[in-house]
Amino acid sequence: MSQQRDEAQVVLRLEGITKRFGALTANDAISFDLRRGEVIALLGENGAGKTTLMNILFGHYTADAGRVEVFGRALPPGHPRAALAAGVGMVHQHFTLADNLTVLENILLGTRSLWRPGLGRAAARARVVQLSADFGLAVHPDARVGSLSVGERQRVEILKALYRDARILILDEPTAVLTPQEADALFETLRKAVGLGLSIIFISHKLHEVMAVSSRVLVLRHGRLVGQVATTETDRHQLAEMMVGAEVTMPRLAAAVPGPALLTLSQVCTPDQGAQPGLKHVDLALHAGQIVGLAGVSGNGQAALADLLAGLTRPASGGLHLAKAVPQDWSPRTALAAGIARIPEDRHKTGTIADFSLTENAILESYGEAPFSRRGWMNWAEAERFAKQIITTYDVRCPGPDTRIRLLSGGNMQKLILGRALEPGPRIILANQPVRGLDIGAVSYVHSRLVAARDSGASVLLISEDLDEIMGLADVIHVISEGRLSPGFGRGEMSPVQLGGWMAGQGFEVTNAA
Amino acid sequence: MRLEPIANPGLVRRLGFPAVALAVTVVIGSALAMLAGADPFATLGLIVKGAVGSRFAALETLNRATPLIFTGLSVAVAFRAKLWNIGAEAQLYAGALVTVLLGTGALAWPALPLLAVIALAAMLAGAVLLLGPVVMKTRAGVDEVVTTLLINFIMLLVISMLLEGPLKDPMGMGWPKSAPLQKAARLPRLFEGLRLHWGFGLALISALVVWVIQTRTTLGYEIRAVGQNAQAARFAGIPVNRVLLKTAFLSGGLAGLAGFSEVAGLKGNLTLDLSPGFGYTGIIVAMLALLHPLGVVLSALFVAGVFVGSDSMSRAAGVPTYIADILLATALLLMVLALLLTRFRVVRD
């Protein structure tokens, strides 16, 4: 496409979008154009303002200044329906589907009057089938959404937007829940959509995806648009630098020298928790001086394993052995006493208490022990000293130990949790999605700390949905699928595609038979 | 219209909105007084005068505030742990019942040990009454709002039955009231010559003790952690259910002390009208105090002042005493709204 034609076919224009929350400027005079048949990648650290910008575009927030134009017409601010009607469709990170309805019903939901039930259903069905074929979105229109895989649900979300004649698709972190194969299929769909004249805004923090799928990259930092480059004229390294505003280094990994097993699971089963599968005859050994990576698509039993090792649940059958001693009463306290450091998946809901100060959060796991308390009396001076120690050692950026932790960014919150977990010198570290949602700077910090802990003889279990993270850090990789655990693979033994196969559930039957 | 959270509300916001809430309460109160055909300024003046305008009035307010401090503390302690104890009324009567059972001749001890034992027993009675609902909550997920509320009615019926039956004062001319407490079981006056009993002193001490527990002890830390985020507390190894039981013990105990203080300090016997809803008013007191134990003392004085002042104003100006209930309800609703507005900004779409 020639440059001139591109200019003629601007489908979406943002002009000087500014949004302030109190003293924080979430979006600072952001302007850009989206052209027909183009994929723009919106790249930025957490808190860079991506979500705010999309919320303004979609009418959930009203901008303090600036205007949004779709197909040459200004959108009235603060009306989500106006954006929908103008042909903007959004696929959220967390799906908005009704599990008990079929695919077709979900797609039709809200598109027709309540007083004319069933009308035009056959025509609608034909249209959905046509759309699935055109865009390569294979999903059966009569399947119940509850029985679909995550990848299929995402296809339904996209179909939903397409059915409403969306000409502009916004995808918020669409690959976070997909296997590599599913992600590739998604990219294929996006290419088809672009070929059919749609325009796409792709929000992501995974640089290789951005490189693979987009034609232009916009980088946001601290609410400002700091860069706008054609994808062909840049590389991952430069993008990472633009995001953080500084050079990024990955931790250098020396080969691990594994020590004795510190924790073993033998044939452990746990009950299913609603939609979350329990563990199915899991064997796992965590050795000193080793990082074990647990790969898998979200919701395949990671939570069950994490809860078990954190002391929140007990094995229904099978054995949990700690350096050969079986703990009598398995609880968060005994887990902590056994030297297990826990970095929970959800730092806002599980890891911290939002309205507690940094000091109060720092001692959450050790408040009952000396020097923080004696005979039931708190020693707040000691607690504050401990918090200050974490703040300096782990570089937690905050106004002070009295600050309520809800005011901290995700990265600084995570650093406090990391400090709280690592400061006692744990033997086993359970890190569940330790870098999810963190900016690149914080990610490399957390990773270097985990590697340092490994090098000093701790055993690390790293649970992550990001295959790159697992492959970059883990000495041994296990894949979890529907609560079953694959055998351990050494570093470099498996390609991402092979691991993807295990993540999709292939190979387990063979192992069980053998 | 939507609400947007404010990260760090300023001092103007945090003090301004509650002040506006109180001002609006006064305006509404004045309007009601006008409706009743009275001069609004005179009415307000009479309320203030009736509450604190004389030595007698002030002492009356302090006496009325005493049970409200106890029940307010009881509610504040429980709500802090997100344990919704609506049953302070029943726990108060449990404390009062035990006071009468032990103080009408069952124990022939000197005053000090007798009062100490009765006070402890009253606390225990209130605590035990709350323990049941909390065990049902932690074991079976039964909503404690429902159970504690219903126990209030059951308790009143039980007291009624006892006052008509085994506890009925044989010298009571047939009235449904208990025998009077023995002399040693009566709380002495706080100061010689002032009509103010030791219950008020005990209430102030209780507020101080609760404040120390909440800020200085591991139990207080645990209670706050469980109330703010039970999931994080459980993950961190805080025994959530055990903390709830301890909270129930504290909360029920404080409400039990209210019953002890009213019977042993003020009334001297047990009747069915011992409490004109002190347990429920305790919820208002605690909410107005933002669950702060020392704030409870101030808000109990305020609430008591409004009640006592309105009583006296009603006699003088002929405006019904119901104005007190309306004023308090308005104050509470507006205060809740004001607190919301200190933390959220209203945004118009």
Answer yes or no: are the C-beta atoms of A441 and A248 closer than 8 Å. Answer: yes
User: Encoding tokens for residue A345?
Assistant: 């998946």
Answer yes or no: are the C-beta atoms of B260 and B267 closer than 8 Å. Answer: no
Contact of B219 with chain A, judged by CB distance below 8 Å, is answered with yes
Interchain proximity B236–A62, CB inside 8 Å: no
pLDDT category at A514 given cuts 50, 70, 90 is very low
Interchain proximity A312–B236, CB inside 8 Å: no
B-chain residues within 8 Å CB-CB of A356? 224-225, 228
Pairing of strands A216-221, A224-230: antiparallel
Q: pLDDT digits over B163-222, tens only? A: 988 888 878 777 888 888 888 888 888 887 778 899 999 999 999 999 999 999 999 999
Select from A332, A354, A356 the Cβ nearest to the Cβ of B235: A332
Name which of A333, A350, A379, A382 to mutate to probe chain B: the one with the most chain B Cβ atoms within 10 A of its Cβ: A350
Listing from the earlier edge strand, what are the strands of the sheet with A88-91?
A88-91, A168-172, A199-204, A39-44, A216-221, A224-230
Any residues with CB less than 8 A from the CB of B53 and at least 6 apart, and which? none
Range of weakest confidence among A244-258, A338-352, A396-410, B10-24: A244-258
Q: pLDDT digits over A160-196, tens only? A: 888 888 899 999 888 877 777 888 888 988 998 888 8
Of B203, B183, B164, the C-alpha closest to B114 is B183
Residue A125 has pLDDT above 50, yes or no: yes
Query: What residues make up the domain containing B154?
Result: 70-289
Helix axes B322-343, B278-288, angle to 10 degrees: 30
Contact of B82 with chain A, judged by CB distance below 8 Å, is answered with no
Answer yes or no: are the C-beta atoms of A439 and A411 closer than 8 Å. Answer: yes
Task: Let me know if residue B257 belongs to a domain.
Answer: yes
Answer yes or no: are the C-beta atoms of A364 and A420 closer than 8 Å. Answer: yes
Helix axes B218-228, B240-261, angle to 10 degrees: 110
Domain range annotation of chain A: 3-244, 249-339+426-514, 346-424
A-chain residues within 8 Å CB-CB of B238? 364
Interchain proximity B217–A378, CB inside 8 Å: yes
Q: What b/e string do you get for B29-43 counting C-beta neighbours within 10 Å, with b at 16 or more?
A: bbebbeebebebeeb
Contact of B7 with chain A, judged by CB distance below 8 Å, is answered with yes
Q: What is the DSSP letter of B184?
A: G
Q: How far apart are the CA of A333 and the nearest CA of chain B, in angstroms?
A: 5
Task: Let me know if residue B302 belongs to a domain.
Answer: no
Residue A458 phi/psi, 5-degree rounding, is -85, 160
Mean pLDDT value across residues A201-220: 85
Q: Which fold has domain A249-339+426-514?
A: Rossmann fold (3.40.50)
d(CA B40, CA B33): 5
Residue A245 phi/psi, 5-degree rounding, is 80, 20
H helices of B81-143, where? 88-103, 111-140
Of A280, A312, A265, A253, the C-alpha closest to A461 is A265
Select from A21, A344, A380 the Cβ nearest to the Cβ of B235: A344
Closest-approach residue (CA) in chain B for A366: B236
* DSSP helix/strand/coil, B131: helix
d(CA A329, CA A314): 9
Interchain proximity A350–B218, CB inside 8 Å: no
CA-angle at A30, arms to A27 and A35, nearest 5°: 135
Q: What is the pLDDT of residue A239?
A: 80
Chains A, B: CB contacts within 8 A come to 75
* CATH number assigned to the domain covering A3-244: 3.40.50.300
Proportion of chain A in helix, strand, coil states, percent, rounded to 5:
35, 25, 40
d(CA A81, CA A58): 8
d(CA B83, CA A239): 50
**How far, in whole angstroms, is CA A193 from its chain's centroid?**
25
Mean pLDDT value across residues B305-327: 85
Closest-approach residue (CA) in chain B for A353: B229
Mean pLDDT value across residues B110-124: 93
Mean pLDDT value across residues A263-268: 91
Q: What is the DSSP letter of B182?
A: P
A-chain residues within 8 Å CB-CB of B233? 353, 364
A-chain residues within 8 Å CB-CB of B219? 376
Common-topology check for domains A3-244 and A249-339+426-514: yes
Any residues with CB less than 8 A from the CB of A500 and at least 6 apart, and which? A179, A180, A181, A467
Kindly report the three-state secondary structure assignment for every residue of A362-373: HCCCCCCCCCCE
Cα separations in angstroms, B294 against B59, B301, B335: 20, 11, 18
Q: What is the pLDDT of residue B286?
A: 93
Region of residue A311 (phi > 0: left; psi between -120 and 50: alpha; otherwise: beta): left
The CB-side HSE value for B168 (13 A sphere, CA atoms) comes to 11
Predicted interface score ipTM higher than 0.90: no
A180 residue type, one letter:
P
Give the H or E element holding residue A316: none
B-chain residues within 8 Å CB-CB of A338? none
Q: What is the pLDDT of residue A324?
A: 59
Residue A509 has pLDDT above 70, yes or no: no
CA dihedral A23, A26, A31, A33 (to 10 degrees): -170
How many Cβ atoms are within 10 Å of B268's Cβ, its own excluded? 19
B-chain residues within 8 Å CB-CB of A376? 217-219
Q: How far apart are the CA of A486 and the nearest CA of chain B, in angstroms?
A: 28
Closest-approach residue (CA) in chain A for B217: A377
Beta strands in A328-475 (DSSP E): 340-343, 373-374, 377-378, 428-432, 459-463
Of A416, A408, A409, A293, the C-alpha closest to A351 is A416
Interchain proximity B228–A310, CB inside 8 Å: no
Answer yes or no: are the C-beta atoms of B288 and B303 closer than 8 Å. Answer: yes
Interchain proximity A377–B216, CB inside 8 Å: yes
Residue A383 has pLDDT above 90, yes or no: yes
* DSSP helix/strand/coil, B290: coil
Q: pLDDT digits over B53-79, tens only? A: 888 899 999 999 999 999 999 999 999
User: Encoding tokens for residue B108?
Assistant: 């022939």
Rg (Cα) of chain B, in Å, rounded? 21
Answer yes or no: are the C-beta atoms of A27 and A53 closer than 8 Å. Answer: yes
A-chain residues within 8 Å CB-CB of B224? 356
Any idea which residue has 């290789």 for tokens?
A: A208
d(CA B220, CA A345): 27
Average pLDDT over all residues of chain A: 84
Select from A23, A24, A332 the Cβ nearest to the Cβ of B236: A332
Mean pLDDT value across residues B282-296: 91
The CB-side HSE value for A119 (13 A sphere, CA atoms) comes to 7
Interchain proximity A377–B228, CB inside 8 Å: no
d(CA A352, CA B232): 6
Bridge partners (DSSP) of residue A35 are A10
Select from B4, B228, B235 the Cβ nearest to the Cβ of A350: B235
Q: What is the pLDDT of residue A372?
A: 93
Kindly report the three-state secondary structure assignment for every residue of A274-298: CCECCCCCEEEEEECCEEEEEECCC
Interchain proximity B237–A336, CB inside 8 Å: yes
Q: What is the pLDDT of residue A476?
A: 92
Select from B219, B237, B349 the Cβ nearest to the Cβ of A376: B219
Contact of B225 with chain A, judged by CB distance below 8 Å, is answered with yes
Contact of B216 with chain A, judged by CB distance below 8 Å, is answered with yes
B-chain residues within 8 Å CB-CB of A312? 234-235
Mean pLDDT value across residues B127-151: 94
More confident residue, A510 or A430: A430
Of A384, A361, A358, the C-alpha closest to A371 is A384
More confident residue, B148 or A105: B148
Of B59, B281, A29, the C-alpha closest to B289 is B281
Q: What is the DSSP letter of B178?
A: B
Contact of B218 with chain A, judged by CB distance below 8 Å, is answered with yes
A-chain residues within 8 Å CB-CB of B229? 349, 352-354
Q: pLDDT digits over A421-441, tens only? A: 999 989 999 999 898 777 777
Closest-approach residue (CA) in chain B for A420: B236
Of A469, A468, A425, A475, the C-alpha closest to A446 is A469
Q: What is the pLDDT of residue B123?
A: 96
Interchain proximity B220–A367, CB inside 8 Å: no
Interchain proximity A79–B349, CB inside 8 Å: yes
Select from A23, A310, A378 the Cβ nearest to the Cβ of B235: A310
Give the range with max mean pLDDT: B10-14, B176-180, B184-188, B296-300: B296-300
Give the H or E element holding residue B279: helix B278-288
Answer yes or no: are the C-beta atoms of A342 and B183 closer than 8 Å. Answer: no
Closest-approach residue (CA) in chain A for B213: A377
Pairing of strands A282-287, A261-269: antiparallel
Query: DSSP states of A180-232 as a string?
Result: HHHHHHHHHHHHHHHHTT-EEEEEES-HHHHHHH-SEEEEEETTEEEEEEEGG
| Structural domain count, chain B | 1
Interchain proximity A376–B236, CB inside 8 Å: no
d(CA A359, CA A389): 10
d(CA B111, CA A283): 68
Q: What is the pLDDT of residue A444?
A: 86
Q: What is the pLDDT of residue A495?
A: 81
CA dihedral A225, A230, A235, A236 (to 10 degrees): 40
Of B245, B256, B309, the C-alpha closest to B282 is B256
d(CA A455, CA A468): 21
Answer yes or no: are the C-beta atoms of A170 and A57 closer than 8 Å. Answer: yes
Closest-approach residue (CA) in chain B for A408: B7
Query: DSSP states of A151-186 as a string?
Result: HHHHHHHHHHHHHTT-SEEEEESTTTT--HHHHHHH
* DSSP helix/strand/coil, B118: helix
Residue A283 phi/psi, 5-degree rounding, is -110, 130
Bridge partners (DSSP) of residue A91 are A171
Q: How far apart are the CA of B217 and the nearest CA of chain A, in angstroms?
A: 4
Residue B307 has pLDDT above 70, yes or no: yes
Q: pLDDT digits over A454-482, tens only? A: 989 899 999 987 777 888 889 999 999 88
Q: How far apart are the CA of B229 and the nearest CA of chain A, in angstroms?
A: 6
Task: Let me know if residue B321 belongs to a domain.
Answer: no
Total length of chain A: 514
Cα separations in angstroms, A69 against A12, A16, A229, B301: 6, 12, 22, 59
